[in-house]
């Protein structure tokens, strides 16, 4: 058994930041990641990181923009903490050597971004995430923090108390991808989940192959509620053939969107008469698909993003990476031609329910970054706020897990006996299929740390042995494709009840197929098929949570849009959808979101750009 | 030594700065413009090809893929497996590998994640050259396409190699920013000139894919040689004006060691294969010049 004070699951931005913070608070900390840290998807972030660094830009404005962007579904205490603390975080990153782009006076450059009232997005070319990831990994190396790379965490070791608020997380079971060894990891103080988003639930996504929602699925099955899972951001500018991201920075620098008729539709068709291309992402994504639906799309599929008028010099200085991406992955030279773009699944706003300290309802279990939901993005995240979030809340989760100083939380977590419950009939029985299901909740029959971890390891060995013993059945790739196709078709930018129900029935079929899963590769050595098979079970649970939330929320707010309910319904829906696993028979309930913090109160207004 | 490196060897710092300065005001610096020109030519060629082939029917692509698994009896001896896959426009080497795996053989094993040339997972040896699978078009390769793991690394399974030694070399150059002093106050950044940022820009683009190291003859023969990626990493800090002079001298000591920069024989193989077009050989040469200058001071 491996043992540390704090174990961080995931080596992307949130995980690295949490690890450094835990280390600075005096903990013996290790990172356990199924990749190597520098392979993490934070590296693919392009546009930048928001922070109110200028004197004439008070942090309260950043908070206001974030709350407005969230379509008033964020929690005010999280938003305020975020906007205040991100400033020092960004400067600290600069002190760690981050190669930010610079103004003439040598200060960090900042550019306009969608939904921001001030040019507040600090950047390093159009490859901000890569530099951030590497700069933070360097700090991990400098501090000698141990990294277990290519170790895949598959099951949390949580005590078996009936009430989830009594449960304690002592560590997890993981397997070494290179050798197939299954081992227990004990965290004396805390486990921080930093496993990133779940874009692989969708067929057309900017997300890496590795973004399979592992942390969210594991925490969910251990009893932590998932929050606002229906809130998936579709980024308006991805390359049609691959889903590769084209940064919002293109529009921030002045890039324009055109339909097939050469019309600048954001203005000409009234989608955003003030901000045009720089409206919030949800607004732009819907506008693009409306253009396509009304016959003004290019090849009935996409629209054009044009930055040629910015000139080669400015483009090469600030957006060079975009030139390479468009050339390598779409065969288009954006210095000469407009780029074809369409919306793609990009960011998981919802996730593991946490508070401002990164705490979940389970003692010793924390989450940070995209896998968590604090919630500061609400129904729609602003561009440049994700790299920012992982710094602030990554640091907080790491510090809290290591027992460092941090103020009391204002945001509640865990079950609420007085909560409003959703009692509708779902079109399928969600959760566990039956006893043949391989969903695996964390259910050690003990309370003491070591037996809990050993029991998780034993259960995981059995599951893996069983998967490897399968003689025939359905391959994981087909099951994964079924989920991705159903979600891409029915739980996309435009949603309606009948489609979401169809998706849920497909998810049910995927679960049935999964009970008949066949793993062809019997080798213990670097068995990626086995790894993908376990990931696919996580994708099933996460997809189901997204679809259930999408069905329940019969209003339109931020990224979530329902055909029969095209208005935002503040009287009814200023609340989070919460989904609890409930030992395999999930229950949905609601928690009102917090529009007031200790500093200010936010009044929901009509959102126009 | 090739003419190229001789020329760059004669380049003075003043000239280098002018070059960076020019980049600020007029067009991209040299390596990028070369790269852009290459890509434009390819896009043009592709378009011409597409027009010429407009009515050709569905085609297939022929792959020969290296297989090895120490645990599996018929794969314990390395072999090549043949795959014929349906070809589509825009198909990359990584797309082809994923299709081969997901359609025909789920045991086919390779690393991949981001699909957009930034995670650095899928450096491979294809038709005799180190490439990144996700950004290499099948259409640009002669068939049969022979796909092998990176040379000069122990093979774990199929196309997966053990990267430990590469990481060790990266870590050996103290790869972290280490300034002598920082501004007072938590909201005060260090200043950096645009020229200096431009100077280190290409070196910061490394994605740790290991293609350069695998292509290097010297690294193949000298396991302790730091290698191009690690030297480039040190270059990134050495030339960053935010670090102090003392630290710079310490960095030179690391780079000047027996298995450091002087091992490089300027064969340019690393520069040729770098998927991010980092001028690695030039960076190594620049560090050599810095070392000479530093040593002359004490002469």
Closest CA to B235 of B265, B213, B205: B205
Residues 6 or more apart whose Cβ sits within 8 Å of residue B169: B213, B225, B226, B227, B229, B230
Q: Is a pLDDT exceeding 60 seen at residue B6?
A: no
Q: How confident is the model at residue A470 (pLDDT cuts 50, 70, 90)?
A: very high
- Rounded to the nearest angstrom, the minimum Cα separation between A103 and chain B is 7
Q: What is the pTM of this model?
A: 0.94
Residue A603 domain-assigned? no
Q: Which residue in chain B is spatially nearest to A44 when comparing CA positions?
A: B118
- Rounded to the nearest angstrom, the minimum Cα separation between B5 and chain A is 26
Q: How confident is the model at residue A533 (pLDDT cuts 50, 70, 90)?
A: very high
Residue A604 domain-assigned? no
Q: Which residue in chain A is spatially nearest to B194 when comparing CA positions?
A: A102
Residues of A in contact with B182 (CB under 8 A): 95
Q: How confident is the model at residue A599 (pLDDT cuts 50, 70, 90)?
A: confident
- Rounded to the nearest angstrom, the minimum Cα separation between B285 and chain A is 23
Cβ separation of A523 and B107 shorter than 8 Å? yes
Residues of A in contact with B35 (CB under 8 A): 324
Choosing from A342, A371, A389, the residue where a domain stops is: A342
Quick: pLDDT tens for B65-80: 999 999 999 999 999 9
Residues of B in contact with A62 (CB under 8 A): none
Shared domain for A180 and A308, answered yes or no, is no
C-alpha A95/C-alpha B185 separation (Å) is 11
Q: Supply the CATH number for residue A289's domain.
A: 3.90.700.10
Q: Quote the pLDDT of residue B41.
A: 75
Interface probe with B: pick from A208, A315, A345, most Cβ of B within 10 Å: A208
Range in A366-370, A440-444, A450-454, B73-77 with the lowest mean pLDDT:
A440-444
Name the catalytic one among A251, A281, A399, A565: A251
Residues of B in contact with A131 (CB under 8 A): 204
Shared domain for A211 and A66, answered yes or no, is yes
Quick: pLDDT tens for B187-242: 999 999 999 999 999 999 999 999 999 999 999 999 999 999 999 999 999 999 99
Closest in A88, A208, A244 to B186, CB measured: A88
Residues of B in contact with A142 (CB under 8 A): 176, 178
Q: Dihedrals φ, ψ of A172, to 5°?
A: -165, 170
C-alpha A205/C-alpha B20 separation (Å) is 37
Shared domain for A188 and A245, answered yes or no, is no
Q: Which residue in chain A is spatially nearest to B241 when comparing CA positions?
A: A97
Cβ separation of B36 and A241 shorter than 8 Å? no
Cβ separation of B116 and A333 shorter than 8 Å? no
Residue A63 domain-assigned? yes
For this structure, is A576 an active site residue? no
Q: How many domains does chain A have?
A: 3
Quick: pLDDT tens for B81-122: 999 999 998 999 999 999 999 999 999 999 999 999 999 999
Shared domain for A549 and A498, answered yes or no, is yes
Q: How confident is the model at residue B48 (pLDDT cuts 50, 70, 90)?
A: low
Residue A61 domain-assigned? yes
The pLDDT of A380-399, averaged and rounded, is 98
Cβ separation of A130 and B118 shorter than 8 Å? yes
Choosing from A326, A342, A358, the residue where a domain stops is: A342
Choosing from A314, A342, A370, the residue where a domain stops is: A342
Quick: pLDDT tens for A225-259: 999 999 999 999 999 999 999 999 999 999 999 99
Q: Is A362 left (phi over 0), alpha (psi -120 to 50) or beta?
A: beta
Quick: pLDDT tens for A144-198: 999 999 999 999 999 989 899 999 999 999 999 999 999 999 999 999 999 999 9
CA dihedral of residues B83, B88, B93, B94 (deg, nearest 10)? -100
Shared domain for A224 and A111, answered yes or no, is yes
The pLDDT of A555-577, averaged and rounded, is 97
C-alpha A60/C-alpha A604 separation (Å) is 16
B131 within 8 A of B138, measured Cβ to Cβ = no
Q: Is a pLDDT exceeding 90 seen at residue A99?
A: yes
Q: Which residue in chain B is spatially nearest to A103 when comparing CA positions?
A: B194
Q: Is a pLDDT exceeding 80 seen at residue B32?
A: no
Q: Which residue in chain B is spatially nearest to A131 when comparing CA positions?
A: B204
The pLDDT of A534-546, averaged and rounded, is 98
Shared domain for A258 and A227, answered yes or no, is no
Q: Is A107 helix (H, G, I), strand (E, B) or coil?
A: coil
The pLDDT of A514-521, averaged and rounded, is 96
Mean pLDDT of chain A, nearest integer: 96
Q: How confident is the model at residue A447 (pLDDT cuts 50, 70, 90)?
A: confident
Residue A596 domain-assigned? no
Quick: pLDDT tens for A40-95: 999 999 999 999 999 999 999 999 999 999 999 999 999 999 999 999 999 999 99
Mean pLDDT of chain B, nearest integer: 87
Shared domain for A333 and A355, answered yes or no, is no
Closest in B70, B116, B194 to A244, CB measured: B116
Which residue ranges form the domains of chain B, and what is each CATH number?
3-35+163-179+192-297 (1.10.1060.10), 57-161 (3.10.20.30)
Q: Quote the pLDDT of residue B56.
A: 45
Name the catalytic one among A17, A41, A204, A235: A235
Q: Domain range for residue A558?
A: 449-563
B147 within 8 A of B207, measured Cβ to Cβ = no
Q: Is the peptide bond before A375 cis (omega within 30 degrees of 0)?
A: yes
Alpha helix ranges (H) inside A25-165: 59-69, 76-95, 128-142
Shared domain for A66 and A174, answered yes or no, is yes
Q: How confident is the model at residue A441 (pLDDT cuts 50, 70, 90)?
A: low
Residue A190 domain-assigned? yes
Residues of B in contact with A178 (CB under 8 A): 156, 162
Range in A69-83, A587-601, B1-15, B56-70 with the lowest mean pLDDT:
B1-15
Shared domain for A171 and A115, answered yes or no, is yes
Cβ separation of B204 and A131 shorter than 8 Å? yes
Shared domain for A217 and A258, answered yes or no, is no
- Rounded to the nearest angstrom, the minimum Cα separation between A386 and chain B is 17
Residue length, chain A?
A: 609
Measure CA of the first residue to CA of the last residue in chain B; give whole Å: 26
Cβ separation of B176 and A323 shorter than 8 Å? no
For this structure, is A251 an active site residue? yes
Q: Supply the CATH number for residue A517's domain.
A: 1.20.58.100
Q: Quote the pLDDT of residue A440.
A: 62
Residue A421 domain-assigned? no
Q: Supply the CATH number for residue A405's domain.
A: 3.50.50.60
Shared domain for A262 and A220, answered yes or no, is no
Residues of B in contact with A91 (CB under 8 A): 186-189
Quick: pLDDT tens for A269-314: 999 999 999 999 999 999 999 999 999 999 999 999 999 999 999 9
Quick: pLDDT tens for A27-42: 999 999 999 999 999 9
Q: Is a pLDDT exceeding 70 seen at residue A445?
A: no
Going from the C-alpha of A212 to that of each of A53, A217, A301, A349, the distances in angstroms are 34, 9, 26, 15
Residues of B in contact with A523 (CB under 8 A): 69, 71-72, 107, 157
Residue A576 domain-assigned? no
Q: Which residue in chain A is spatially nearest to B109 when comparing CA positions?
A: A528
Interface probe with A: pick from B204, B236, B276, B278, most Cβ of A within 10 Å: B204
Cβ separation of A35 and B113 shorter than 8 Å? yes
Q: Quote the pLDDT of residue A165.
A: 95
Q: Quote the pLDDT of residue B185.
A: 86
Shared domain for A166 and A279, answered yes or no, is no
């Amino acid at each position: 058994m491996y043992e540390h004070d704090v174990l961080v699951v995931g080596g992307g931005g949130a995980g690295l930041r949490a690890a450094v913070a835990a280390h600075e608070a005096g903990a013996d900390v290790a990172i356990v990641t199924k990749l190597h840290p520098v392979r993490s998807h934070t590296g693919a972030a392009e546009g930048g990181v928001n922070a109110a660094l200028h004197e004439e830009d008070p942090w309260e404005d950043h908070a206001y923009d974030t709350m407005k962007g969230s379509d008033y579904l964020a929690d005010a205490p999280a938003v305020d903490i975020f906007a205040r603390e991100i400033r020092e975080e960004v400067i600290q990153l600069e002190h760690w050597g981050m190669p930010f782009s610079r103004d003439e006076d040598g200060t960090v450059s900042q550019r306009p971004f969608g939904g921001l009232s001030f040019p507040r997005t600090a950047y390093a070319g159009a490859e901000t995430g890569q530099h951030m990831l590497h700069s933070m990994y360097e700090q991990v190396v400098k501090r000698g923090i141990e990294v277990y790379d290519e170790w895949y965490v598959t099951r949390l070791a949580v005590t078996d108390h009936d009430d989830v608020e009594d449960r304690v997380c002592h560590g997890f079971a993981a397997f070494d991808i290179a050798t197939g060894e299954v081992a227990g990891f004990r965290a004396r103080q805390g486990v921080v989940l930093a496993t990133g988003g779940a874009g692989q639930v969708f067929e057309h996504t900017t997300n890496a192959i590795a973004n399979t929602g592992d942390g969210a699925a594991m925490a969910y099955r251990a009893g932590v509620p998932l929050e606002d899972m229906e809130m998936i951001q579709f980024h308006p500018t991805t390359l049609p053939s691959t889903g590769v991201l084209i940064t919002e920075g293109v529009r921030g620098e002045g890039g324009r969107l055109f339909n097939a008729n050469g019309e600048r539709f954001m203005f000409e068709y009234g989608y955003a008469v003030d901000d045009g291309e720089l409206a919030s992402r949800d607004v732009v994504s819907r506008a693009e698909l409306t253009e396509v639906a009304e016959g003004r799309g290019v090849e009935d599929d996409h629209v054009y993003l044009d930055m040629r008028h910015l000139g080669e010099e400015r483009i090469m200085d600030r957006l060079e990476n975009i030139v390479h991406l468009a050339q390598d992955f779409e065969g288009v030279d954006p210095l000469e031609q407009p780029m074809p773009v369409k919306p793609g699944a990009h960011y998981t706003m919802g996730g593991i329910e946490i508070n401002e300290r990164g705490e979940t309802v389970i003692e010793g279990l924390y989450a940070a970054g995209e896998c968590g939901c604090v919630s500061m993005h609400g129904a729609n995240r602003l561009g440049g706020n994700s790299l920012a979030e992982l710094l602030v809340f990554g640091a907080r989760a790491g510090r809290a897990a290591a027992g460092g100083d941090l103020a009391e939380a204002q945001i509640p977590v865990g079950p609420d006996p007085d909560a409003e419950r959703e009692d509708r009939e779902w079109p399928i029985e969600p959760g566990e299929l039956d006893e043949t299901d391989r969903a695996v909740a964390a259910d050690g029959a003990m309370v003491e740390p070591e037996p809990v971890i050993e029991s998780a390891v034993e259960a995981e060995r059995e599951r893996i042995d069983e998967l490897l013993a399968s003689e025939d059945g359905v391959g994981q790739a087909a099951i994964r494709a079924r989920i991705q196709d159903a979600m891409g078709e029915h739980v996309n930018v435009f949603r309606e009840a009948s489609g979401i129900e169809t998706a849920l029935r497909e998810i049910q079929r995927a679960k049935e197929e999964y009970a008949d899963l066949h793993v062809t590769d019997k080798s213990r050595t670097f068995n990626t098929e086995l790894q993908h098979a376990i990931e696919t079970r996580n994708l099933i649970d996460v997809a189901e949570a997204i679809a259930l939330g999408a069905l329940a929320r019969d209003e339109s707010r931020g990224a979530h849009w329902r055909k029969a309910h095209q208005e935002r319904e503040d009287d009814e829906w200023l609340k989070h959808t919460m989904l609890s696993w409930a030992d395999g028979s999930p229950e949905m309930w609601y928690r009102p979101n917090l529009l007031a913090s200790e500093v200010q109160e936010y009044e929901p207004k009509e959102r126009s750009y | 030594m090739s003419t190229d490196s001789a020329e760059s060897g004669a380049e003075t710092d003043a000239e280098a700065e002018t070059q960076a300065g020019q980049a600020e005001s007029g067009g991209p610096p040299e390596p990028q413009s070369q790269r852009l020109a290459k890509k434009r030519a390819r896009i043009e060629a592709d378009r011409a090809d597409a027009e010429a082939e407009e009515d050709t029917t569905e085609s297939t692509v022929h792959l020969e893929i290296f297989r090895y698994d120490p645990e599996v009896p018929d794969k314990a001896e390395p072999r090549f497996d043949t795959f014929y896959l349906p070809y589509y426009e825009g198909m990359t080497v990584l797309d082809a590998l994923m299709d081969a795996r997901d359609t025909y053989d789920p045991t086919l094993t390779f690393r991949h994640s981001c699909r957009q040339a930034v995670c650095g997972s899928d450096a491979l040896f294809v038709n005799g050259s180190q490439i990144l699978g996700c950004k290499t078009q099948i259409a640009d390769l002669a068939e049969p396409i022979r796909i092998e793991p990176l040379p000069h690394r122990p093979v774990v399974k199929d196309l997966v190699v053990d990267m430990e030694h590469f990481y060790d070399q990266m870590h050996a150059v103290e790869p972290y920013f280490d300034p002598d002093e920082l501004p007072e106050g938590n909201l005060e950044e260090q200043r950096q000139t645009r020229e200096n940022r431009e100077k280190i820009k290409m070196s910061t683009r490394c994605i740790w894919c290991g293609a350069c190291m695998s292509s290097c003859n010297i690294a193949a023969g000298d396991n302790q040689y730091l290698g191009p990626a690690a030297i480039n990493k040190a270059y990134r800090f050495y030339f960053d004006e935010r670090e102090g002079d003392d630290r710079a001298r310490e960095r030179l000591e690391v780079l000047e060691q027996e298995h450091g920069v002087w091992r490089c024989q300027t064969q340019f193989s690393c520069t040729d294969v770098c998927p991010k077009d980092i001028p690695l050989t030039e960076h190594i040469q620049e560090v050599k010049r810095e070392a000479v200058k530093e040593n002359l001071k004490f002469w």
